[in-house]
Amino acid sequence: MWVGITIILVVWILWQFVFGYPESRVECENLTAREQHLLAKSAEAFFPEGGSLPSAAEAGVVQYLDRMFAQLPKQQKILIRLLFILIEHGPLIFGPLKGRTTRLSQESRIDYFRSWEESSIYFRRLAFLSLRSLVTIGYFSSQSVETALLSEKKS
């Protein structure tokens, strides 16, 4: 019985932490498919489709962050990858068990990020701020966002 439970637990852990990620949708040289997927889903929560400004996907946030990642020192890359792991598996760590961040619905992901932003745990707020800063830098570096902002300002 214990062997069966252990096998089920190991398979569940592998599925949650390793498998079940889609293939990369964009050409990236530095970010893994999991990191790209997390960034795309996070950016989608921060800058969704349907607004007066371009969506995160239209702005090319993941591609920008991939290029930026190549220029970082090794220590910074390690820290950012650890941040991605923490954010991705946060629902499993901080509970209740809901699955990975990228498996949450758009609405649940927004609520999840809001809970990090308003957390009483300083480290969680700092991790959220770090992710949001990375995504925001990628978003506002886009020429399409700049053009849309300038046309909004003229209106």
Instruction: Please report which helix (H) or strand (E) contains residue 134, including its range.
Output: helix 122-140
Quote the pLDDT of residue 151. Answer: 83
Q: 97: exposed, middle or buried (C-beta count within 10 Å: 0-12, 13-18, 19+)?
A: exposed
Name the pTM for this structure: 0.81
Considering 2-11, 86-95, 127-136, the range whose residues carry the highest mean pLDDT is 127-136
Arithmetic mean of pLDDT, 79-97:
85
Quote the pLDDT of residue 24. Answer: 57
Peptide bond before residue 96 is cis, with ω within 30 degrees of 0: yes
Quote the pLDDT of residue 14. Answer: 59
Q: What is the DSSP letter of 60?
A: T
Q: Which residue has the tokens 């050409």?
A: 27
Quote the pLDDT of residue 99. Answer: 76
Quote the pLDDT of residue 19. Answer: 59
Quote the pLDDT of residue 149. Answer: 86
CA dihedral for 127, 66, 106, 98, sign (positive or negative): negative
Per the CB < 8 A criterion, the answer to whether 127 and 83 are in contact is yes
Quote the pLDDT of residue 136. Answer: 96
Sorting pLDDT into bands at 50, 70 and 90, what band is 41?
very high
Task: State how far the Cα of 91 lies from the Cα of 70, in Å rounded to an integer.
Answer: 29
Q: How far is CA 113 from the centre of its chain?
A: 10
At 101-117, the pLDDT tens digits run 888 889 989 999 999 99
At 9-31, the pLDDT tens digits run 666 555 555 556 656 566 778 89
Per the CB < 8 A criterion, the answer to whether 45 and 113 are in contact is yes
Quote the pLDDT of residue 61. Answer: 94
